[in-house]
Amino acid sequence: MSKEMIEAVLIAGDGIGPDVTAAACEVIEAAGAPIKWLPMPAGLGAAATHGDVLPEITLAELRRTGVGLKGPVGTPIGGGFRSVNVTLRKALDLYAAVRPVRNLPGVTTRYEGVDLVIFRENTEGLYTGIENQIAPGVVTSMKVATEGACTRIAEYAFDYCVHRQRKKVSVFHKANIMKLTDGLFLRCAKAVRDAKYPQVEYEEIIIDNACMQLVRDPTRYDVLLMENLYGDLVSDLCAGMVGGLGVVPGANIGRDCAVFEAVHGSAPDIAGKGLANPLACLMSGVMMLNFLAEKLNSQACKTAAGRIKGAYDHVLVEGKIRTRDLGGLATTREFTNAIVAAL
């Protein structure tokens, strides 16, 4: 009997992107998930083939299907194209970046018991890209905070907290210096919590101290809520506690669309060598399946997500086949094969 297929956009991206997205799709298909992939261009490669790093057809397909899995894209430093990620998140209003960071079974790091979820405001802060040269040798970058955006990310984080039986939200900020912008972020978070979620423990912590506390004892934290740039930096910091960027997934969620992608970038240092860890991208795919399971009430997506998680946990615990970032010797292909076999 043919299953009803769910269409999802697939953006392979740049650098290690094509390798890790191909691996994720292969595993998701092998697990029997009812996903029909729609490959769409974006990234430096798309500039060559479509004359734009983020072609309109890609945005149109994401709007139509409401869901996508994305590989990382490269962004030239100090000039060149606009950032694909910033433009994509803005265009589709993907306001909530959700990044779960947990120790994985069988992957030993300096830290134990890490179980955090980072909520990063994804549409404003310093990522507005409003920069000006106001005089020769003097440039400015504008940080924007709006009550609407600060409130909705707080609502998303607290709502998640309650649904997932999480206990505490810690807001990282620098409102002692950025009194207006970070001050507004804090006020909105506190107002949301006091009005609707008084049962959730709440703390505000200045980000420099918060980073020190994080690396001393990440188990004191549960859900982290912060503005755009802080969320970007703290995500990588937390990834380092559980095995690196190869094992941390993510989602960019909006009201009408959700794009799932790993926290890592295009990793130019290992691109084209077949060495990338596809797990972060695969875990992002699992987040996508769970999202679809909930949104569409799809038992097939839920079952596939559970099977995939069981399979990669098994391979990691067995410990024989691992990519280099996790201390092994396996290639992307060998690790992917092992997960498919474990299914």
**How would DSSP label each residue in 243-292?**
T-GGG---EEE-SS-EEE--S----TTTTTTT----HHHHHHHHHHHHHH
- 331 contact partners, CB below 8 Å, separation of at least 6: 274, 275, 323
Burial 190-200 (b: 16+ CB within 10 A, else e): eebbeeebeeb
Question: Beta partners for 131?
Answer: 141
Give the 3-state secondary structure of residue 191: helix
Q: Please, what is the minimum distance in Å from the beta carbon of residue 13 to ligand NAI?
A: 6
Q: Please, what is the minimum distance in Å from the beta carbon of residue 16 to ligand NAI?
A: 6
Parallel, antiparallel, or unpaired for β 6-11 and 35-39?
Answer: parallel
Q: Please, what is the minimum distance in Å from the beta carbon of residue 181 to ligand NAI?
A: 23
Length of the chain (residues): 343
Query: What are the structure tokens assigned to 251, written together?
Result: 């989602």
Place of tokens 């709006």: 146
Side-chain-side CA neighbours of 137 within 13 Å: the count stands at 0
Nearer of residues 169 and 248 to ligand NAI, judged by Cβ = 248
Q: Please, what is the minimum distance in Å from the beta carbon of residue 310 to ligand NAI?
A: 21
Nearer of residues 76 and 148 to ligand NAI, judged by Cβ = 76
Nearer of residues 13 and 34 to ligand NAI, judged by Cβ = 13
Give the 3-state secondary structure of residue 328: coil
Contacts with ligand NAI by CB under 6 A lie at: 16, 20, 72-75, 85, 245-246, 261, 264-270, 276-277, 280, 325
Nearer of residues 75 and 181 to ligand NAI, judged by Cβ = 75
> Whose CA is closest to 336, among 314, 320, 312, 317?
312
Q: Please, what is the minimum distance in Å from the beta carbon of residue 3 to ligand NAI?
A: 30
Nearer of residues 188 and 262 to ligand NAI, judged by Cβ = 262
Q: Please, what is the minimum distance in Å from the beta carbon of residue 109 to ligand NAI?
A: 15
Q: Which residue is nearest to ligand NAI (CB)?
A: 265
118, containing H or E segment: strand 115-121
Q: Please, what is the minimum distance in Å from the beta carbon of residue 292 to ligand NAI?
A: 21
Nearer of residues 19 and 155 to ligand NAI, judged by Cβ = 19
Nearer of residues 183 and 240 to ligand NAI, judged by Cβ = 240
